[in-house]
Structures are given as structure tokens and as C-alpha cells.
Homo-oligomer: A and B are copies of this chain.
Amino acid sequence: MYGKDRIYKKVEIIGVSPTSIEGAIETALSKAKGSLDKLSWFEVQDVRGHIGDDGKVAEYQVVIKVAFQIKD
């Protein structure tokens, strides 16, 4: 597989979750699945979040880059 002509594209996506960083990543991937080719890997760029009126984390917002192979 290595050494052959292939190209990948990376897109930057933000997923959210009320409970965890991993949850926000999965949200991003689950919705990206439909609109992009087969996903290959992701890289976390930024982790941030919104704080609710109770002073606790209301949602995690995780910025990831998702890479997928471009078909010929």
C-alpha cells in the first residue's frame, strides 16, 4: 500500500457533547460520515467548552482535523 500514488484531504470539523471530549469527537465523526468519503484518521486541534448557568460544563467543543483518501 505504501509508495503508491494516493492523496488525502484534511477538513476541520467541530463536534460537541455534553459529557466528554471523546463524545464530542464521536459526534463530529458520526455526522461527517455521510458527507465525506471513507474517513482515515483525525487530529485534535483544540478543546474548549461552554459553561452553563450552574457554573458547570454545558458542552465540550472539540475541533478536529479529519483526513480521508480521495478516490481517483
A residues apposed to B, CB below 8 Å: 2-16, 18-22, 25-33, 35, 38-44, 46-53, 55-60, 63, 65-67, 70, 72
Contact = CB atoms under 8 A, between A and B. Distances in A.
A47 B40 CA distance: 15
A13 to B, nearest CB: 5
Q: How many identical subunits does the complex contain? A: 12
B31 A41 contact: no
A9 to B, nearest CB: 5
Contacts of A65: 12
A14 B65 CA distance: 13
Given A20-B22, A65-B12, A3 B58 contact: yes
A39 B50 CA distance: 9
